[in-house]
Every structure is written in structure tokens, then in C-alpha cells.
């Protein structure tokens, strides 16, 4: 298999007034780019949204969990598999996880950091003591630690990774053997134009107010903005395959699920207040054999508001791709795009034509995913 196979995903998406991802003041995150202030959504926020999207379509044992409370999760599994009470199950769980050398948090039973693991992996760790639980529970602490010392706890966490861990990786600074290199890089989403922070002043009326009572039961403000966002992610297919134990079909499935979830998910900050869920106006995939290429430079000069921001953002992205391909000569292995722009409407005609020049004739999102998988499979065969 080629060592250089990257799948870039480019998304243009317009979001109405919203606060997708708040800063330490509770306002939408921002960044200065091209000399003006832009709306920003952190990569972490969209990665979590993507992970929750594909987890919702996955059986629980195949999901990944990120938590400080791994000890408590293991206790629940051991006590559920055996007749032990939680106290004795907790002693065994602590002894098993003690092999890893996890730094302990301030709260009893918590680790000092969030640990990302597969539910099936923790199930397998719990299963290591199913037949010996009662005997282990009868041992003193030192003898218990010695009795479980040879059980393959660390090995269980380093194999059989779920899609979430295989895609986004795992970093445990003080235990390098648990690290998993991420196969996905996600950029901070950035508005293609200048944005202004606004505030919604709201009041809530107490339903039990007497007739002669006036005033609100609660008042406050919520910061928000609206934006057309450029979103970008790239998947290193060789790394993804390696994280999944060399299983190419599993890697193709994981890639397909990531493209689907990255395109269709959204962070849920203040979702009930703003109902901000929208679909992208453009999703383009580019398969490359040289290196990933983020096309955010298309928007270094902000798109002016009077130009029709959504269509002109998509057109600029397509033009940047065409220019970069021409200048650097790095013709992609494959390109495809799904978008909502049509040549039948004068206001989007130029955009639709430029998108076709850059990425080929538009396809439905389902077709994009199907053809992407087929083209990668063909490319892998060519490299065999």
C-alpha cells in the first residue's frame, strides 16, 4: 500500500445566529485572519460532534469513551459479570488499572486526565478476571496486585481500537505505550468573511406571577454571531489502516463514517436557543498522494457581504483548488463534490461552473461516499 494517501474534506456551510462553541466569557470563539475578525469553531468541538454523530449509529460495545472515570466503568463491568459487590470489584479494578501507571486525579477513583478507550477494550479487561473474581477478592492488596500483574491489561488497550480512537488517536503523556497516533487532522472552522459579535438580551416571565406583579423572573444576555464557515479535515489512510490492525476494509468503513459524520454533524452549544442545525452547501473530497492541503488561503481576503457570501465562498474555494493544482502540479488522484449550486439560477451559475471545473460534475452525497470508497480501493490496488 502507498505510504502517502490522504483524503482532504472541504466544507462550506452557512450557520444562522448561533453560539456553537463558546470562549471563557461565554461568547462565540473568534480569530483574526486576513486582518479582520472571524467567527471560529475549534477543531475539538467539531471532532466531538463528529464522534457523537457516528457513535449514535453504532452499537455501544463498538463505541469509544473519553472519561476520567475509567475505574468506575471497570468496577461496573466486573460487578456485573460476577457476584462481587462494588467494593471488592473496585479493589480488583484498581489493581488491574494499576499496571498502567495512570496518574490519579484529585477525586478518588478518577484519573488525572481524560482517557480515550474502546468500550469493547474495557469489556475485555473486565473479562480477564471473570473466572477468578472471588479468589482475587479474598487476597490482601499486595497479593492482589501481584496476582493480576501478568494479565495483559496494557496489551488489551493497544489492540482492537474502535473507530473513534483509530481516527482521533490517544495521547497519554506519561504512558507512551498507550499512545495512538491520530489518523485525522481537523482545522478550526473559520468564517470566510468578517463577523461581528452580537448579544441577545432575553427575559423569562414567571408563569406564577400574580396579576399585579410586573417584571421578569430572569434576565440575561447570550453572545452570538452568524457565519458562512470553511471547514477542513484530512485523513491519513495509511495511519488509519495501521490503527485498525492493518484491516483495509475496516479502514474504508471508518473513512466513510468519518466523511458522513464530519459533513453532517454540528456542535450543540446553545442549540435549544438558536436551532442552528444546517446542511453544508458544499462538500468536496480530494484524494492526494503527496500531502494534505488546507485551502483556507482562498479566504485570506474576506468575502464581502454584498457579493452573496455562500456562493462566492464556494467559488473562491474552487478557484483556489484549481490555482494550487496548476501552480504546484500536484494533480490529485481523485476529486468529487456535492453541492447545492445550480447553473439554472443566474446568481449561482458562475459558482456551479467553477465547481465543476475544479471537482467534476456534482454528485449526491451518497454517490460521493460510494465513489470515494471505490476510487481508493482502485488506488490501493494500483499501488499493490
Angle formed by the axes of helices 86-98 and 70-81, nearest 10° = 120
- Tell me how far apart the alpha carbons of residues 222 and 203 are, in angstroms, rounded to a whole number: 11
> Does residue 183 carry a pLDDT above 90?
yes
Give the closest residue to 287 by CA, choosing from 356, 360, 350.
Answer: 360
> Does residue 36 carry a pLDDT above 70?
yes
Tell me the percentage of the chain whose pLDDT exceeds 90: 72
> Does residue 2 carry a pLDDT above 60?
no
Residue for grid cell 501507571: 101
What three-state secondary structure class fits 234? strand
Give the closest residue to 267 by CA, choosing from 42, 99, 39, 87.
Answer: 42
The per-residue pLDDT of the chain, averaged, comes to 91
> Does residue 1 carry a pLDDT above 50?
no
For the chain, report the end-to-end CA distance as a whole number of angstroms: 6
Q: Which residue pairs from 168-171 have beta carbons closer than 8 angstroms and sit at least 24 positions apart in sequence?
A: 168/47, 168/51, 168/116, 169/243, 170/115, 170/116, 170/117
Over residues 244-252, the mean pLDDT reads 95
How far is C-alpha 157 from the chain's CA centre?
21
Q: pLDDT of 312-356, one tens digit each?
A: 999 999 999 999 999 998 889 999 999 999 999 888 999 999 999
Give the closest residue to 380 by CA, choosing from 324, 329, 334.
Answer: 334
Per-residue model confidence (pLDDT) at position 99: 87
> Does residue 380 carry a pLDDT above 80?
no
Per-residue model confidence (pLDDT) at position 384: 56
H/E element holding 311? helix 309-328
Q: Which value, in Å, is the radius of gyration of the alpha carbons in the chain?
A: 25
Over residues 375-382, the mean pLDDT reads 81
- Tell me how far apart the alpha carbons of residues 259 and 54 are, in angstroms, rounded to a whole number: 10
Tell me the domain boundaries of the chain: 6-51+182-191+228-383, 65-161
Give the closest residue to 14 by CA, choosing from 226, 194, 319.
Answer: 226
Q: pLDDT of 125-170, one tens digit each?
A: 999 999 999 999 999 999 999 999 999 999 999 999 999 999 999 9
> Does residue 40 carry a pLDDT above 80?
yes
Per-residue model confidence (pLDDT) at position 378: 84
> Does residue 110 carry a pLDDT above 50?
yes
- Tell me how far apart the alpha carbons of residues 118 and 116 are, in angstroms, rounded to a whole number: 7
Per-residue model confidence (pLDDT) at position 223: 86
Per-residue model confidence (pLDDT) at position 214: 67
Per-residue model confidence (pLDDT) at position 225: 92
H/E element holding 314? helix 309-328
Per-residue model confidence (pLDDT) at position 306: 81
- Tell me how far apart the alpha carbons of residues 222 and 201 are, in angstroms, rounded to a whole number: 7
Per-residue model confidence (pLDDT) at position 219: 77
Per-residue model confidence (pLDDT) at position 101: 85
Q: Which residue pairs from 30-35 have beta carbons closer than 8 angstroms and sit at least 24 positions apart in sequence?
A: 30/195, 30/197, 31/188, 31/190, 33/190, 33/296, 33/299, 33/300, 34/299, 34/300, 34/301, 34/302
Over residues 257-272, the mean pLDDT reads 93
Q: For the residues of 22-76, what is the DSSP string, one character each? A: B-TTSSBPEEEETTEEEEEE-HHHHHHHHHHHHHTTS-GGG-EEEES-HHHHHHH
Q: pLDDT of 199-247, one tens digit each?
A: 988 777 777 776 666 666 677 788 889 999 999 999 999 999 999 999 9
Do 303 and 312 meet the contact criterion of CB atoms below 8 Å apart? Answer: yes
Amino acid at each position: 500500500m502507498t505510504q502517502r494517501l490522504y483524503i482532504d474534506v472541504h466544507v462550506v456551510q452557512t450557520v444562522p445566529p448561533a453560539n456553537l462553541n463558546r470562549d471563557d466569557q461565554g461568547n462565540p470563539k473568534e480569530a483574526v485572519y486576513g486582518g479582520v475578525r472571524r467567527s471560529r469553531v475549534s477543531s475539538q468541538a467539531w471532532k466531538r460532534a463528529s464522534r457523537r454523530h457516528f457513535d449514535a449509529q453504532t452499537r455501544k460495545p463498538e463505541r469509544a469513551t473519553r472519561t476520567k472515570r475509567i475505574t468506575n466503568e471497570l468496577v461496573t463491568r466486573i460487578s456485573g459479570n460476577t457476584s462481587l459487590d462494588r467494593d471488592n470489584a473496585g479493589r480488583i479494578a484498581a489493581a488491574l488499572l494499576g499496571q498502567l501507571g495512570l496518574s490519579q486525579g484529585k477525586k478518588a477513583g478518577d484519573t488525572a486526565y481524560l482517557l480515550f478507550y474502546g468500550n469493547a477494550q474495557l469489556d475485555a479487561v473486565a473479562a480477564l478476571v471473570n473466572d477468578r473474581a472471588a479468589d482475587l477478592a479474598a487476597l490482601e492488596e499486595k497479593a492482589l496486585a501481584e496476582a493480576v500483574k501478568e494479565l495483559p491489561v496494557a496489551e488489551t488497550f493497544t489492540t482492537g481500537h474502535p473507530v473513534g480512537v483509530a481516527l482521533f488517536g490517544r495521547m497519554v503523556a506519561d504512558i507512551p505505550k498507550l499512545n495512538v497516533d491520530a489518523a485525522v487532522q481537523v482545522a478550526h472552522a473559520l468564517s470566510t468573511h468578517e463577523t461581528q459579535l452580537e448579544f441577545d438580551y432575553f427575559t423569562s416571565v414567571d408563569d406564577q406571577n400574580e396579576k399585579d406583579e410586573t417584571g421578569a423572573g430572569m434576565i440575561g444576555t447570550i453572545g452570538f454571531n452568524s457565519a458562512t464557515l470553511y471547514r477542513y479535515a484530512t485523513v491519513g489512510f495509511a495511519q488509519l489502516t495501521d490503527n485498525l490492525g492493518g484491516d483495509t476494509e475496516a479502514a474504508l468503513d471508518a473513512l466513510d463514517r468519518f466523511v458522513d459524520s464530519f459533513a453532517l454533524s454540528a456542535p450543540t452549544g446553545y442549540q435549544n436557543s438558536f436551532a442552528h442545525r444546517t446542511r453544508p452547501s458544499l462538500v468536496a473530497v480530494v484524494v492526494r498522494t503527496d500531502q494534505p492541503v488546507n485551502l483556507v488561503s482562498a479566504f485570506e481576503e474576506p468575502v464581502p457581504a454584498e457579493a452573496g457570501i455562500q456562493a462566492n465562498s464556494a467559488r473562491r474555494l474552487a478557484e483556489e483548488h484549481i490555482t494550487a493544482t496548476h501552480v504546484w502540479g500536484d494533480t490529485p488522484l481523485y476529486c468529487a463534490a456535492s453541492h447545492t449550486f445550480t447553473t439554472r439560477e443566474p446568481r449561482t451559475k458562475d459558482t456551479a461552473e467553477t465547481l465543476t471545473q475544479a471537482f467534476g460534475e456534482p454528485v449526491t452525497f451518497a454517490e460521493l461516499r460510494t465513489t470515494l470508497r471505490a476510487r481508493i480501493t482502485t488506488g490501493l490496488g494500483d499501488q499493490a
